[in-house]
Structure formats: C-alpha cells, structure tokens
C-alpha cells in the first residue's frame, strides 16, 4: 500500500521505517528541508537502537523515501498518518498544542485524491480526530476520506521491537472500510496474532492517555512505597517483587527511582488532567501521581545533600546518566534536569557522563564538567550518583571507582547495585527505598 507519513519526528520516523519493513511503500513528509535532506543522505536525527539500519535498508530497497512535497505525497497515498508534534501548549496551561495537527489537516485536505484513510498517530486530546475531520471537510467538501485514531505505545529505546511485536493495536474507526484499510496496513501483526482493539474515535484517543496515566500512577505508587520502606526498614525491591508477582498487579513498572520523565508521561498526565477538568470530572489518582512525581524529584536532591552531610558547598558530585532513561539521547523532562541544578546552585561541582545525552546537556548546562567515561566522572568525587541505568553503568569496576573517588559514597537512584555487596566492597551505599 502507498502510505504517507506527515512529520518525521520520533513517532513518524519509527512508524515510516517499520511500515516500510512490513512491505508498504512509504513516503515520509516534513516541512523541515534540512531534516529531509539529511534523511535522504541516510542521517537519522535521533538516537534509537536499530532505526538507522531500518531506514537505510528500506530506503535502499526503494520502499522508503523522504520529501518536503506535501501535495504529491498526499495525492499518491491510500493512507496518511499524521505524526506531527503535540507539545504542551506555549500558554503553559498543560493543554496539548494542536496547532501543527490542524495546520497539517488543512493543508493535506487540498491535495486528497480518491478514497483516503487519514490516521491520527499523534497523542491528542479526546475530540481531536472529529475536529480534524471537520477541518478537512470544510477545506475540501469533495474529499472522500475516513478519519482513524491509531495511538502508538512505543517506548523510546525499544521503539522498533515495540512496533514489530506490540501488546495490542488500537484502532478508532467509524467505518468498516477504514477498518479494512487499517487491517491491511498492519497485516503482518495480524498474522502473528496481535490483539486488535477496534473502537470509536474518542475511545481510541482516551486509551492512549489512560494507558500512560496508569503507568505513571504505578511508578508514583512504588516511589511512595519506597519512601515508606526507607522509614520502616523495609526493602522496596523485595516489596515490588512480592506485590508484582500477583498476576492482577504485574511486576512491570514497579521500579522506584528519581521519578518519571521523558516526552510522554509528564506531558500526557497533565493533558489528561486538563481534559478531565474541562469536563468536570475529578481525576484525583492522576493528580496525585503528578504531585508525587514532583516531590520524588525534590526528594532526590535532599537524599544527595543528606548523604553528603547536609551541605554540598565545594563538594564534587559525579553523575552517571542524564537522559530520562537508557538507550535514548532524549533529555526532555529528565529527572536529572530537576535534580542537578539545585545542587549546582548550592555550590556543588557537577561532573557528568552520559553515553548519548551530553551533546544536548552541554547547551543546557555549560556549568557542568563533561567527562569521557564513568571513571572520569568518579575521579575526586565526594559522591557518585547513578542517575540513569545505562547498561554500561551496571558492570562498573567498583574497586577502580572506589580508588578514584575522594570518598566512597555511592548514591544509586535506580537500585542497580545490591546494598550488601556495595557495603562489603567498602562503599557507603544509598539506594531508593532500601536499607
Ligand atoms: C512511554 C510509554 O511506556 C509508551 O508506551 C508510550 O508509547 C510512550 O510513553 C509515549 O506516550 O510515546 P517512554 O516515555 O519512552 O514510553 O518510556 P518509559 O519506558 O515508559 O519510561 C518513562 C519514564 O518512567 C522514565 O523516566 C523511566 O525511568 C520511568 N520509569 C519507568 C520508572 O521510574 N519506573 C518504572 O518502573 C518504569
């Protein structure tokens, strides 16, 4: 099938490359000429494991191409995915900014030819698909199209495998014809028995927010339990295991840490709260998850300061990891961005390492010292903070780390290491929710 993807951000690019791999003919369209020419040269603007390979392979095989020409790419397509950004609105009120979606809808409407399915893949508040549909109709009353909402559940760092082996595909569609087109698009997943959930437009839109909000609630819940564990002498890792093995609860997303970050949970929980407010429906559990997350990040600043005796003036803090999670170069809403600046302001010297996030961090925090590896980050440090659980930080040469540090204080905000083992190796060990 000939498919056009509008927007070559994270979602658009992964969707385009993976659908090309399914055998479709994909045109990825973006207005950003420098981005498109870089993609035409095989340069991928984001770090996502496996994506560059997939883009290069499918471009070479002629199934994936990149263009800035909206008119042509729209006219030729049987299906069009809208995957433009929906950042938090510039008004700072938590609403998702739909400017790009509406602009794309109006523009593509003028170029539609023949029956086309228009699929909203961006994360958008309930009612957006209907609004987009109205806009297209108003702009081009003769257009023959159906609107579909097809939210994505990809995790950064694991997006390719999530796309190829998803837990489910959610399709909000209001005609059998559109459902049939969607089935054809995802045919390879149908064949491996992926569950398909067919709903109306509004349900599909809300499923996306509800899924992210539920996961955020789960994380905030375990973070609260971690804080309680610290006070009563329990171990949250044991607690999470004991609780998570209950099949009704599940063990995933029960890892305590410095709070959730990234481009999705923080933005989507707030956007869901705004929608609930607008409709006069309380969403207290989501509200609590957001509040707990803010205090969790603040709590990490206190944890580090307390471990250093309450005062960080003149102290050197080594930091391993800056991105909001491993296997990404994404710093958006990363807990590190909330935890490190207050320590810097209080007079600490911050020396950091991150496998992918340092280039962007250098722009945001020129005051940090950027190092080439974990050991440089530990050198002369009064404390070493493990902020993001990159694999390369899971097998540190602890003897070497200890010998390089000013004092062996290891603050493990991801509970990667065992407290007992660390103590046996001579470290003062501080985890999250552990003795
Ligand atoms: C999340 C969802 O997991 C995806 O399903 C969804 O498609 C995506 O948002 C989106 O809306 O686009 P992502 O933000 O890439 O994916 O990353 P996650 O793996 O979900 O992690 C989010 C944050 O939660 C990270 O800061 C991570 O460190 C934190 N987290 C996760 C925990 O603190 N504990 C956990 O147990 C799990």
The lowest-confidence range among 119-128, 228-237, 297-306, 311-320 is 119-128
- Residue whose CA lies nearest to ligand 1 atom number 18: 155
- How many angstroms is it from 214 CA to the middle of ligand 1? 11
To test the pocket of ligand 1, the residue of 15, 211, 262 to mutate (highest count of ligand atoms within 8 Å of its CB) is 262
* Mean pLDDT of all residues in 302-314: 97
Give the pLDDT band (50/70/90) at residue 96: confident
Pocket test for ligand 1, best of 49, 83, 155 (most atoms within 8 A of CB): 155
Residue 149 Cβ inside 6 Å of ligand 1? The answer reads no
pLDDT band at 89 (very low <50, low <70, confident <90, very high): low
Q: Phi and psi at residue 105, in whole multiples of 5°?
A: -60, -45
* Mean pLDDT over the full length of the chain: 96
Q: How many other CB atoms are there within 10 angstroms of residue 204's CB atom?
A: 22
Half-sphere exposure of 418 (CA within 13 A, CB side): 5
Res 91: pLDDT: 62
Q: Read off the pLDDT of each residue in 327-350 and give the average, rounded to a whole number.
A: 97
pLDDT digits (tens, 9 = 90+) for 205-225: 999 999 999 999 999 999 999
Q: How far does residue 106's CA lie from ligand 1's centre (Å)?
A: 32
Integer CA distances (angstroms), 42 to 54, 55, 430, in order: 10, 7, 44
Task: Report which ligand 1 atom has the smallest distance to the Cα of 261.
Answer: 26
The answer to whether domain 2-199 and domain 213-430 are alike in fold is yes
Any idea where the domains of the chain sit in the sequence? 2-199, 213-430
pTM: 0.95
- Of 365, 374, 359, the closest CA to residue 343 belongs to 365
Is the minimum distance from the CB of 261 to ligand 1 under 6 angstroms? yes
Is pLDDT above 90 for 276? Answer: yes
Given a cut of 70, is residue 180 above it in pLDDT? Answer: yes
CATH 3.40.50.720: does it fit domain 2-199? yes
pLDDT at residue number 92: 65
Q: How far apart are CA 97 and CA 118, in angstroms?
A: 20
Is the CB of 47 inside a 6 Å radius of any atom of ligand 1? no
- Pairing outcome for strands 145-149 and 169-173: antiparallel
Active site residue 18: no
The class (CATH top level) of 213-430 is: alpha beta
User: What is the predicted pLDDT for the residue at 336?
Assistant: 98
Given a cut of 60, whether residue 90 has pLDDT beyond it is: no
pLDDT digits 0-9 by tens, 404-424:
999 999 999 999 999 999 999
d(CA 69, CA 47): 26
């Amino acid at each position: 099938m000939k498919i056009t993807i509008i927007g070559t951000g994270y979602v658009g690019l992964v969707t385009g490359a993976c659908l090309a791999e399914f055998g479709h003919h994909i045109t990825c369209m973006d207005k950003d000429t420098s981005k498109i020419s870089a993609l035409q040269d095989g340069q991928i603007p984001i770090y996502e494991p496996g994506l560059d390979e997939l883009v290069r392979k499918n471009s070479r095989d002629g199934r994936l191409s990149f263009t800035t020409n909206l008119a042509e790419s729209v006219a030729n397509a049987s299906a069009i995915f809208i995957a433009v950004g929906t950042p938090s609105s510039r008004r700072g009120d938590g609403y998702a900014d739909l400017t790009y979606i509406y602009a794309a809808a109006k523009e593509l409407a003028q170029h539609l030819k023949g029956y086309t399915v228009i699929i909203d893949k961006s994360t958008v508040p309930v009612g957006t698909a209907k609004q987009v549909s109205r806009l297209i109709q108003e702009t081009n009353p003769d257009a023959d199209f159906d609107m579909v909402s097809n939210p994505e559940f990809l995790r950064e760092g694991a997006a390719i495998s999530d796309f190829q082996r998803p837990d489910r595909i959610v399709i909000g569609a209001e005609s059998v014809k559109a459902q049939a087109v969607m089935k054809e698009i995802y045919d390879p997943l149908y064949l491996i028995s992926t569950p398909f959930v067919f709903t109306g437009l509004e349900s599909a839109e809300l499923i996306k927010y509800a899924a992210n909000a539920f996961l955020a609630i789960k994380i905030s819940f375990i973070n609260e339990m971690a804080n309680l564990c610290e006070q009563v002498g329990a171990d949250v890792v044991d607690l999470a295991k004991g609780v998570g093995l209950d099949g009704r609860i599940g063990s995933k997303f029960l890892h305590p840490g410095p709070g959730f970050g990234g481009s999705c949970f923080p933005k989507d929980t707030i956007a869901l709260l705004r929608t609930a407010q607008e409709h006069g429906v309380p969403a207290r559990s989501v509200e609590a998850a957001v509040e707990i997350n803010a205090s969790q990040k603040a709590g990490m600043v206190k944890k580090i300061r307390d471990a250093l005796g309450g005062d960080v003036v003149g102290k050197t803090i080594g930091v391993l990891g800056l991105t909001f999670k491993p296997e990404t170069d994404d710093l958006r809403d990363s807990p590190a961005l909330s935890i490190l600046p207050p320590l810097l302001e209080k007079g600490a010297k911050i020396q950091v390492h991150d496998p992918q996030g340092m280039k962007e961090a250098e722009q945001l925090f020129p005051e940090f010292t950027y190092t080439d590896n974990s050991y440089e980050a530990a050198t002369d440090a009064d404390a070493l903070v493990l902020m993001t659980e990159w694999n390369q930080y899971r097998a540190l040469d602890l003897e070497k780390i200890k010998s390089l540090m000013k004092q062996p204080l290891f603050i493990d905000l991801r509970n990667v290491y065992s407290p007992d083992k660390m103590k046996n190796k001579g470290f003062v060990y501080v985890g999250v929710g552990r003795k």
